[in-house]
Chains A and B, each alone.
Chain A
Amino acid sequence: MTELASLPNPFRNHVVLDAWQDTVDLTEIHADAFEACKAGIDSATRGIPDSLLIYGAAGAGKTHLLGRLQRHLSETARSAPDSVLRCVFSFVRLQTSPQLLWQHVRRRLVADLMRREQGLTQLQRLVAHQLGIVGGASARAGLLKLRVLRREDRRALLQHLRELGSKLDLPRNVCTVLEHLVFDENERDASAWLAGESLPVDVLGQLGLGEDQDEDREDAARIVVTALCRLAGETLPIVFCFDQVESLQRTATDEEALFRFGRMAADLNDADPNVFIITCLQAAFVDQFRRAVRQADQERIARRSVVLNPLTQAQVEKLVRARLEASHELQALRAQHPTEPLYPLDPSFIRSLPSEPWVPRRVLALAARAFEERQSGRAQPPPPVEQFLGRELNVRQAEARAELHPADTERILVRGAELIAEIGGGELIENDSEKADFVIAGDRRTAVSVRNEVDGRSLVARLADLVKHTPRKDGAKLVVVRDARLPIPKKAVKSREHLSVLQKRGVGFVEPTVEALAALDALAGILGDAKSGDLANEGSPLDAGKVIAWLKSLRGSVELEPVEELAEALFSEREQEIDTVEQDLVELLGRVHVAELEAAALELKRSPEEVLKVAHKATAHCLVLEGPPTLLLDVSGVVSETEVAS
């Protein structure tokens, strides 16, 4: 075992998936593209709208470049004498469905606005910036004013926010939520609303918000995003970085998705002259993008373009050296070999690389393998594709399971519809004329409508709409999907009535398990990365076709079981009843988490025997601990862990 054996490989983690990710940066690489980004921000600062299209091969460093821009903006703000925000930065990885584009942008923008630095969120800093400008003072003075006013003169700050809202024609609900967020009050709920989550009526009441009754959630998201653009653009440039545009496509020939992206980005461009849009696109999509996106939209979202060229040999060497030099663990060892700039790699490593074109990801992957070879004394072949994908699935599934929130269910299902169709052997049809979220046409036609509203009154309106459209004109079976962690409360009488009507008309009701959602999210993420060239096995990109082939090979396996069960439930001929006692029990446990059987029965006005029977059946929500006294535990969302424990 060499002394290298225990050291971490400095070349691993060569796929950059997020502009907020910290990476070793070599500014010489793609310096001209970086300058083009900065020029765009300068332009937007002067109120001249700008946009930039960045072309590059898979692994050429598109996301890495956006990360450099994000760090540059943060560092410029931090190191400036007044330490104020210079630009609002939002990074949007387009791993979503084209139907949910605006909702996705809304969620990402709000997440980025809520990032904190020096105790203040990006949103608070931009309000502070405006306080300074409006008051005729510096941005720094605005920052101080915000800190002071928040503590000492609430009324003055509220007055300013209201004036701003009126001047920028911001919707009332947006203004109200901004007030909460500026004062750090009800931050969790206020930011959840701003990001587009459905909230219970009592929470909406606490926030002072009206009901969420917008018919079209996409349109509602567009209104909020453009309002936030106006808010930011009033005094600061706002940069949107769109990455992985290709992953929007359902199939390799799907131009509708690119068309929709073009429309959305062009609208965003029009929202405010201070908006600067950066779009990253794989070189391979050059023809398709031009065909699919309207000329008028291209003129707005691709005013300029740059190409990330392959690396020169000198850049390759510098890239490898930069990684080695950044490794603290290697410092002492490298100091013993001052004449070997690539130590511990072989001096001939650069010359031994396969022929050009060299892209950073590929070079780093090869360096990682060479490093491992030095560590273990033998060359490690890349893992077989199936093994690599299986490992990816496990890692991503575990991450998804830990982070999944009921608000994610709609996004996961709509985005994963392509996979559900694949597993169910059907064809996916979007843009349903009868307003279902998606339709899968296989042996029989199934229309899926995700009804995940938490706010009871919004749910009533949407269920009533479904009742109106049932039975469907195309004869498809309608299936209503709702997150299992969102029981329909006992007091939501009207919603339950609508569900009962729907059930009588043969509509199915499916509650996907957390396991199924986590697996579907992980699989859709893998497929999305493959489509946008960001899925690489040791630096070699894996395309969507390989992922689909692997998926087919998984049929009947444990890994795919939760998703197959979900697909089976969606396509099932069986009547899927909505058990109101189960809904009541889930709601009760959601509130109290642990309940004695007797007390639960009393609360639900049912016999203990009946409640126990339901509790045994509702394994996704309830764990029964035999007594005496018999206890019922809320396990919604933690089903797999419970099973493992038992």
Chain B
Amino acid sequence: MTGKPRARKTSKPRVVPEDLQQVVLQTLQGASALKLGDLKKSLPVPYQPFAKEAQAIARELAERGSVPYFRPTKTQLVFFPEDPSARIEAVLRSHLKEPATEKELTELVADHAPGFQVVVKPWLASAVKQRRIHEHAALKGSRAKRYYIEPDLRAALKSVLTALQKALAKTDALGISREQVAKVLLDELGSSTWPTSASTAKAATNGESLDRSSRSSFVAELGALASENPQQAMLSVTELRRRLLLDKREFDAIALDLAREGAISLHHHDNAASMPEHERMQLIQDAHGRDYVGISLTRGA
């Protein structure tokens, strides 16, 4: 039996568009948490036939560090428009008000940075090791560990505090004032006065703990300034600097870090060059030499 001659299958030549890399890059940067497998759907229709090539480009961009990504499994890749670790940290710094479980942290991130919640679990493991977040005791009746930006000081000092309570019963009986006790304790700690942000900065020997302490003071003072001026959406950098007494470089670095993390917004001065030097020094200067005069908490911060 002879039939019609079967048409020979020929594959059309595939001409990959020249701008595919640009399109892939834009797609990855424009999407929030995009899985590699979902890249095809997110490409503009004319580019979808080139999904395989696009995936290869995406992998290459990730390896080159051109786009932030996270690898949940050996084969999977999830792309983000910005560094997921930094984003999660910024969300927690702005919105986490008390110790929370991993589940609660994931929900918080999902609320404020949709898509990024997939990274919370792996981020948590490394962040605890790096002391970017601290474990706190589980609540009574629960076994779920809790986490918070600040370490659990009371837990760390539990035995000291128990001993202190016992000691205070004796000192009270002897008529020794609490101020006298405090003075002795401060002497023991190597400090003659209550710590201020500046003295804390000087006293700290470890650079990392110095940063953390100054940063906490900065955030606390900014919060205080904002609550004293509830009607002011923008606060004065000069005023905040006056209240903190931090070294200029340290103050500026903390402010710029917080701005990068999205916890605050900085507002630039268009013509700081015309200011007298002593006034300009009060502003915050970034690496590009741009000066910032105003500071505001971002929404929900």
Residues on A close to B: CB < 8 A? 32, 53, 55-58, 252, 282-284, 286-287, 290, 302-307, 309-310, 313-314, 338-339, 347-348, 355, 357, 533, 541, 543, 545
Q: Which residues of A have CB within 8 Å of B12? A: none
State whether B30 touches A307 (Cβ < 8 A): no
Given the known inter-chain contacts A283-B293, A303-B231, A307-B296, please indicate yes or no for A541 contacting B47, CB distance below 8 A: no
Q: Which residues of B have CB within 8 Å of A55? A: 233-234, 267, 294
What are the 6 A-B residue pairs with the smallest beta carbon separation, nearest first?
A: A283-B267, A305-B233, A284-B269, A543-B271, A58-B270, A307-B234
* B192 interface hit (Cβ, 8 Å): no
Q: How far is the CA of A314 from the CA of B269 in the complex (A)?
A: 24
Q: How far is the CB of A255 from chain B (nearest CB, A)?
A: 14
State whether A284 touches B236 (Cβ < 8 A): no
State whether A347 touches B233 (Cβ < 8 A): no
Q: How far is the CA of A339 from the CA of B18 in the complex (A)?
A: 13
Q: Which residues of A have CB within 8 Å of B236? A: 286-287, 290
Instruction: Write 29 A-B pairs (CB below 8 A) sorted by A numbering.
Output: A32-B299, A57-B268, A57-B270, A252-B274, A283-B267, A284-B271, A284-B293, A286-B234, A286-B236, A287-B236, A287-B293, A290-B236, A302-B231, A303-B231, A305-B232, A305-B233, A305-B234, A307-B267, A309-B267, A310-B265, A314-B30, A339-B23, A339-B47, A347-B19, A347-B22, A348-B22, A355-B288, A357-B268, A545-B274
Report B16-28 CB contacts with A as 1/0, cut-off 8 Å.
0001001100100
Given contacts A307-B296, A543-B270, 7 further A-B contacts (CB under 8 A): A53-B233, A252-B274, A284-B272, A290-B236, A305-B232, A533-B271, A541-B271
Q: Which residues of B have CB within 8 Å of A303? A: 231
Q: Which residues of B have CB within 8 Å of A347? A: 19, 22-23, 26
Among the interface residues B267, B288, B293, which one has the most CB atoms of the partner chain A within 10 A?
B267
Q: Which applies to chain A's interface (DSSP): helix, strand, loop or mixed?
A: mixed
Q: Which residues of A have CB within 8 Å of B46? A: 338-339
Q: CB < 8 Å: which of B19, B30, B267 contacts A57?
A: B267
State whether B269 touches A283 (Cβ < 8 A): yes
Q: How far is the CA of A543 from the CA of B270 in the complex (A)?
A: 9
State whether A282 touches B296 (Cβ < 8 A): no
Q: Which residues of A have CB within 8 Å of B290? A: 357
Q: Which residues of B have CB within 8 Å of A302? A: 231-232
Q: CB < 8 Å: which of A252, A284, A287, A290 contacts B270?
A: A284
Q: How far is the CA of A508 from the CA of B167 in the complex (A)?
A: 91
State whether B294 touches A286 (Cβ < 8 A): yes
Q: How far is the CA of A287 from the CA of B282 in the complex (A)?
A: 11
* B213 interface hit (Cβ, 8 Å): no
Q: How far is the CB of B226 from chain A (nearest CB, A)?
A: 12
State whether A283 touches B234 (Cβ < 8 A): yes
Report B25-61 CB contacts with A as 1/0, cut-off 8 Å.
0100110000000000000101100000000000000
Q: Which applies to chain B's interface (DSSP): helix, strand, loop or mixed?
A: mixed
Residue of B nearest to A36 (CB): B233
Residues on B close to A: CB < 8 A? 19, 22-23, 26, 29-30, 44, 46-47, 231-234, 236, 238-239, 265-272, 274, 288, 290, 293-294, 296, 299
Residue of B nearest to A290 (CB): B236
Q: How far is the CB of A275 from chain B (nearest CB, A)?
A: 18
Residue of A nearest to B288 (CB): A355
State whether A286 touches B233 (Cβ < 8 A): no
State whether A307 touches B270 (Cβ < 8 A): no
State whether A283 touches B268 (Cβ < 8 A): yes
Q: How far is the CB of B257 from chain A (nearest CB, A)?
A: 15
Residue of A nearest to B265 (CB): A309
Q: How far is the CA of A309 from the CA of B267 in the complex (A)?
A: 7
Q: How far is the CB of B17 from chain A (nearest CB, A)?
A: 9
Among the interface residues B29, B30, B232, B266, which one has the most CB atoms of the partner chain A within 10 A?
B232
Q: How far is the CB of A33 from chain B (nearest CB, A)?
A: 9
Q: CB < 8 Å: which of A287, A305, A313 contacts B238?
A: A287
Q: How far is the CA of A286 from the CA of B295 in the complex (A)?
A: 10
Q: Which residues of A have CB within 8 Å of B30? A: 314
Among the interface residues B29, B239, B268, B290, which one has the most CB atoms of the partner chain A within 10 A?
B268
Q: CB < 8 Å: which of B44, B265, B274 contacts A543?
A: B274
State whether B231 touches A282 (Cβ < 8 A): no
Q: How far is the CB of B183 from chain A (nearest CB, A)?
A: 40
Q: Which residues of B have CB within 8 Å of A543? A: 270-271, 274
Q: How far is the CA of A357 from the CA of B268 in the complex (A)?
A: 8
State whether A307 touches B269 (Cβ < 8 A): no
Q: How far is the CA of A284 from the CA of B282 in the complex (A)?
A: 12
Among the interface residues B26, B271, B294, which one has the most CB atoms of the partner chain A within 10 A?
B271
Q: How far is the CA of A612 from the CA of B254 in the complex (A)?
A: 79
Among the interface residues A57, A252, A290, which one has the most CB atoms of the partner chain B within 10 A?
A57
Residue of A nearest to B232 (CB): A305
Q: How far is the CB of A642 from chain B (nearest CB, A)?
A: 42
Residue of B nearest to A282 (CB): B270
Q: Which residues of A have CB within 8 Å of B239? A: 287
Q: How far is the CB of A65 from chain B (nearest CB, A)?
A: 14
Q: Which residues of B have CB within 8 Å of A314? A: 30
State whether A307 touches B265 (Cβ < 8 A): yes
Q: Which residues of B have CB within 8 Å of A355? A: 288
Q: How far is the CB of B113 from chain A (nearest CB, A)?
A: 14
Q: Which residues of A have CB within 8 Å of B265? A: 307, 309-310
Residue of A nearest to B17 (CB): A339
Q: Which residues of B have CB within 8 Å of A313? A: 29
Q: How far is the CB of A305 from chain B (nearest CB, A)?
A: 4
Q: Which residues of A have CB within 8 Å of B293? A: 283-284, 286-287
Q: Which residues of A have CB within 8 Å of B26? A: 347
Q: How far is the CB of A523 from chain B (nearest CB, A)?
A: 20
Q: Which residues of B have CB within 8 Å of A284? A: 269-272, 293
Residue of A nearest to B271 (CB): A543
Residue of A nearest to B235 (CB): A286
Q: How far is the CA of A262 from the CA of B244 in the complex (A)?
A: 30
Q: How far is the CA of A313 from the CA of B32 in the complex (A)?
A: 13
Q: How far is the CA of A548 from the CA of B272 in the complex (A)?
A: 17
Q: Which residues of B have CB within 8 Å of A310? A: 265
Among the interface residues A282, A284, A309, A313, which one has the most CB atoms of the partner chain B within 10 A?
A284
Q: Which residues of B have CB within 8 Å of A338? A: 46
Q: How far is the CA of A32 from the CA of B266 in the complex (A)?
A: 17
State whether B44 touches A283 (Cβ < 8 A): no
Q: Which residues of A have CB within 8 Å of B288? A: 355
Q: How far is the CA of A407 from the CA of B221 in the complex (A)?
A: 53
Q: Which residues of B have CB within 8 Å of A283? A: 234, 267-269, 293-294
Q: Which residues of A have CB within 8 Å of B19? A: 347
Residue of A nearest to B294 (CB): A283
Q: How far is the CA of A338 from the CA of B274 in the complex (A)?
A: 47
Q: How far is the CB of A301 from chain B (nearest CB, A)?
A: 11
Q: Which residues of A have CB within 8 Å of B269? A: 283-284
Q: How far is the CB of B28 from chain A (nearest CB, A)?
A: 12
Q: How far is the CA of A16 from the CA of B48 in the complex (A)?
A: 41
Q: How far is the CB of B179 from chain A (nearest CB, A)?
A: 37
Q: CB < 8 Å: which of A252, A306, A339, A348 contacts B44?
A: A339
Q: Which residues of A have CB within 8 Å of B231? A: 302-305
Q: How far is the CA of A284 from the CA of B275 in the complex (A)?
A: 11
State whether A307 touches B22 (Cβ < 8 A): no
Q: How far is the CA of A284 from the CA of B239 in the complex (A)?
A: 14
Q: How far is the CA of A330 from the CA of B214 in the complex (A)?
A: 54
